[in-house]
Amino acid sequence: MTAIAEPAIRVTGLTKSFKEAEVLRGVDLTVERGTIFALLGSNGAGKTTAIRILSTLIAADGGTASIDGHDVGSDDAAVRAAISLTGQFAAVDEMLTGRENLVLIARLRRLPQPGRIADDLLARFALTDAGGRRAGTYSGGMRRRLDLAMSLIGDPPVIFLDEPTTGLDPEARLEVWGAVKQLAVGGTTVLLTTQYLEEAEQLADRIAILHQGVIVADGTLAELKKLLPPAQVEYVEKQPSLEEVFLAIVGARGTPQKEQS
């Protein structure tokens, strides 16, 4: 009989309060390996608190959680070795070049051949031409892609992305979406928090909706759509969205040969 693989992330009955405020009130979720799982919710729903607990930054009040088979509460060192966390804003050193940022992280992790690791990741995230420039000159999308590349150093099996496209323009968001999809293609498990509905639609294999500290829905996009009454068929003239208009206009003006800040 073939053994069933342990999920990359398993959370059961997770609770957390700050003084009198109950932020998480019994969260349950399971994330399979090599998938993108979106935790969707409005501001204050508890998304970031859940990520901070799973990444061992704060302790839960109750419940259990495991990452890559390691208990978050009792085996935090093994959990930290298995994860990478990318917050809402790119954590790059703007005085260093893109390549130097990557080399620095590889050296801090005491990995062999940090230069080769940096060059491979620059190529993977389409940053080779910009690798010799200071990160401070990068566009928002380029900085976020560099941030994602830095998070892959050491090949962690699980990556947490907390609101990865906050503050980015439509073009930069599309750049980041493409990079996130490539993470899963490479076998990395991604737990993504977002308040952007379209982001969850575009990226996630499964979506959980966190509301007032509990998971109120969990499933594929198709499964979640079935929770609503069947749509009435109406014939209306479709108008393009503002994002479609923006991208059409920008695309019509041509794409520069090299990415500019």
Give domain limits for the chain. Answer: 9-91+140-221
Residue 243 above 90 pLDDT?
no
Q: For residue 129, give the DSSP letter.
A: T
Predicted pLDDT at 82:
93
pLDDT grade for 251, boundaries at 50, 70 and 90: low
pLDDT grade for 261, boundaries at 50, 70 and 90: very low
Over residues 81-89, the mean pLDDT reads: 83
Tell me the whole-structure pTM to 2 decimals.
0.80
Which two three-digit tokens encode residue 250? 């920008």
What's the gap between Cα 1 and its chain centre?
A: 34
Out of 73-77, 124-128, 155-159, 254-258, pick the least confident.
254-258
Residue 1 above 50 pLDDT?
no
- Name which CATH class applies to 9-91+140-221: alpha beta
pLDDT grade for 179, boundaries at 50, 70 and 90: confident
Out of 101-110, 155-164, 251-260, pick the least confident.
251-260
CA dihedral 197, 203, 209, 213 (to 10 degrees): -100
What's the gap between Cα 99 and its chain centre?
A: 22
- Encode pLDDT of 195-241 as tens digits: 888 888 889 999 999 988 999 889 998 888 887 777 666 777 777 77
Q: Which residues of 54-89 are buried (b: 16+ CB within 10 A; e: fewer)?
A: bbbeeebeebebbbbebebeebbebbbebbbbbeee
Over residues 247-252, the mean pLDDT reads: 62
pLDDT grade for 50, boundaries at 50, 70 and 90: very high
User: Radius of gyration over alpha carbons of the chain, in Å?
Assistant: 20
